[in-house]
Amino acid sequence: MGGAGGRGGQNAMAGVCGAVGGAEGAGGGAAVGTIDIRDLWEHYRLYHDRTHSLKEVLVRFRRARYENLWALQGVTMRVEPGEAVGVIGANGSGKSTLLKCVARVIEPSRGTVSVRGRVSALLELGAGFHPDLTGRENVFINGAMLGMTRREVRARFDEIVGFSELEQFIDSPVRTYSSGMYMRLGFSVAVHVDPDVLLVDEVLAVGDEQFQAKCRARIAAMKARGVTILFVSHDLPRVQEVCDRVVWLDRGVVRAEGASAEVVQEYAGRSE
Ligand SMILES: Nc1ncnc2c1ncn2[C@@H]1O[C@H](COP(=O)(O)OP(=O)(O)OP(=O)(O)O)[C@@H](O)[C@H]1O
Ligand SMILES: [Mg+2]
CATH number of the domain within which 108 lies:
3.40.50.300
37 burial class (0-12, 13-18, 19+ CB within 10 angstroms)?
buried
Tell me how far the alpha carbon of residue 77 lies from the centroid of ligand 1, in angstroms.
19
- State residue 30's pLDDT score: 82
* pLDDT, averaged across the chain: 85
Of residues 144 and 5, the one with the higher pLDDT is 144
Cross-strand partners of 249 = 254
Could you tell which of 40, 41, 44 is best to mutate to test the pocket of ligand 1, judged by most ligand atoms within 8 Å of the CB? 44
Mean pLDDT across the stretch 137-165? Answer: 92
Highest mean pLDDT among 46-50, 124-128, 165-169, 190-194: 165-169
- The rounded Å distance from CA 70 to ligand 1 centre is 10
Asked whether residue 26 carries a pLDDT value surpassing 60, the answer given is: no
Tell me if 68 is assigned to some domain. no
Which of 55-59, 65-69, 194-198 shows the lowest per-residue confidence on average (mean pLDDT)?
55-59
> Is residue 154 situated within a structural domain?
yes
- Ligand 1 pocket test, candidate residues 47, 72, 95, most atoms within 8 A of CB: 95
User: Using CA atoms, how far apart are residues 121 and 82, in angstroms rounded to an integer?
Assistant: 16
Q: CA 218 to CA 232: how far, in whole Å?
A: 16
The boundaries of the domain holding residue 163 are: 15-36+77-268
* 110 domain residue, yes or no: yes
d(CA 188, CA 165): 9
Q: Which range, of 28-37, 46-55, 134-143, 231-240, averages the lowest pLDDT?
A: 46-55
Query: Is the Cβ atom of 233 under 6 angstroms away from ligand 1?
Result: no
Query: Would you give the distance in Å from CA 124 to the centre of its chain?
Result: 6
Secondary structure element (H or E) that encloses residue 230, with its range: strand 228-232
The structural domain count of the chain equals 1
Q: Is 166 in the pocket of ligand 1 (CB under 6 A)?
A: no
Does residue 149 belong to any structural domain of this protein?
A: yes
Is the beta carbon of 203 within 6 A of some atom in ligand 1? no
- Taking CA atoms only, the protein residue closest to ligand 1 atom 19 is 92
* CB 88 less than 6 A from any atom of ligand 1: no
Among the atoms of ligand 1, which is closest to the Cα of residue 72?
14
- The answer, yes or no, to whether any atom of ligand 1 lies below 6 A from the CB of 95, is yes
Say if 50 falls within a structural domain.
Answer: no
Residue 188: pLDDT above 80?
yes
Per-residue model confidence (pLDDT) at position 5: 33
Judge whether 22 lies within some domain: yes
CA end-to-end distance (rounded Å), the chain: 34
Length of the chain measured in residues: 272
The dihedral built from the CA positions of residue 208, 197, 118 and 100, taken in this order, carries a sign that is positive
Separation in Å, CA 50 to CA 6, 55, 67: 22, 13, 13
On whether residue 206 sits in a domain, the answer given is yes
Q: Is the CB of 96 under 6 A from ligand 1?
A: yes
Q: What band does 22 get if pLDDT is binned at 50, 70 and 90?
A: very low
Q: Specify if 47 maps to a domain.
A: no
* Proximal ligand: closest to the CA of 100: 1
* Residues β-bridged to residue 250: 253
pLDDT at 129: 86
Q: Ligand 1 pocket, 67 CB below 6 A?
A: no
pLDDT of 19 strictly over 60 = no
Q: Return the SS3 of 191.
A: helix
- Interval 104-126: pLDDT, tens: 989 999 999 999 999 998 886 54
Residue 29 pLDDT class (50, 70, 90 cuts) = confident
pLDDT at 64: 66
How many Å lie between the centroid of ligand 2 and the Cα of residue 203? 9
